[in-house]
Structure 1
């Protein structure tokens, strides 16, 4: 296969469950702009890193192959992202003892609730000297990530 004038004709996702297509397409948009195999590989890797940075995928693998099917072009490529989404609910607990003091911490996270890679985290700590709690909502915006704590 020649390394010139390649076109990404199709992008596929395997095992994509809750995540919305528009969120994914924003993150992988650069793959379609690639014009040769080296660029396709580089931009696919960048897209994979962006998808992992969303914090909703455990793993993102990339497969690049020539197009197949009736609409294939002689210089067309198919790029397939095989993703593994994290569970929707994650939690942890911890106990600490020391210096005449003890505490228990509980943390719950809800991931990708509406398919836009949002996260809600609740933390609760109960101790012999103090009790605290917190709620965090995180909704990434394309190109700008901000966290709001309540």
Structure 2
């Protein structure tokens, strides 16, 4: 089993997609979404994004991300922050944060101790960082 799968398997439950806020989209996120939706950028912006000055975010509809519909409708074109969640570096810093995220996310493997979880996550993040540095 790949190390990442030891930590997390997305169930597309949408818990992380619900709330009154959403993630900001950087330029790469915006382009990935435009490419995935195969629509002109101005149409994607008009239909799906909330633009406030230089900040671009996905719209919220009925207390969830506009792309949530019994799962992520743009899963392969989703923002990097969504792809990273819930395996964020902050989990390595605070066991209480880990507990809160773990309790809210059914995809996190519950059988691992916090310290074992962190040792695997650190290796995964280090490898990812190393690959990005060599691009």
TM-score range, shorter chain: under 0.3
Q: Which has the higher strand share?
A: 1
Q: TM-score, normalised by structure 1?
A: 0.20
Q: Which structure dedicates a bigger proportion of its chain to helix?
A: 2
**Whose Rg is larger?**
1
TM, length-normalised to structure 2: 0.22
